[in-house]
Amino acid sequence: MPRVKNSKTSRARRKRISKQVAGYWGRRKLGRGAQETLKRAFNFAFRDRKAKKRDFRMLWIARINAAARLNGLSYSTMISGLKAAQIDINRKVLADIAANDPAAFSQLAETAKTKAAK
């Protein structure tokens, strides 16, 4: 029985890897180094897709907290007041309102302040 060397598949795999590491520097583009670098890059990409969500949530909370304090509230009081007033608005939109429309945010803060006091 003849020996199958799988050259088509091997060449395709090496070609795919070399395309993916285009733009890398030095030995990171060659053979085993390319494979290791690519594996590492994919691991970072996987990890950081999750971290991105956490980072944005922290940013939104920081923006809401800063705007709430300008209106005489803490972040937690603001959020609990909005929940008590049954204003269902997520942190992303609330942070955008805080940054771009301070008048509307002030109205939300006043609503939250009155509901949190009760």
| Percent of the chain whose predicted confidence (pLDDT) is above 70 | 99
Higher pLDDT, 102 or 5: 102
Per-residue pLDDT tens for 28-75? Answer: 888 889 999 999 999 999 999 999 999 999 999 999 999 999 999 999
In three state form, how does the secondary structure of the chain look? CCCCCCHHHHHHHHHHHHHHCCCCCHHHHCHHHHHHHHHHHHHHHHHHHHHHHHHHHHHHHHHHHHHHHHCCCCHHHHHHHHHHCCCCCCHHHHHHHHHHCHHHHHHHHHHHHHHHHC
Residue tagged 């691991």 (tokens): 43
4 assigned to some structural domain? no
Residue 1: inside a domain: no
Residue 42: inside a domain: yes
Residue 46 lies in a domain: yes
What CATH number is given to the structural domain containing 92? Answer: 1.10.1900.20
Angle at 50 between CA 54 and CA 20, to 5 degrees: 140
Domain-located, residue 109: yes
Per-residue model confidence (pLDDT) at position 28: 87
Domain range for residue 52?
24-117
Instruction: State pLDDT tens for residues 106-115.
Output: 999 999 999 9
In a domain, 64, yes or no: yes
In a domain, 5, yes or no: no
Would you state the structure tokens that stand for residue 84, as one six-digit string?
């008590």
- In the chain, the number of structural domains is 1
Q: Is residue 97 part of a domain?
A: yes
Q: pTM to 2 decimals?
A: 0.79
Listed ranges 5-9, 25-29, 96-100; the one with the highest mean pLDDT: 96-100
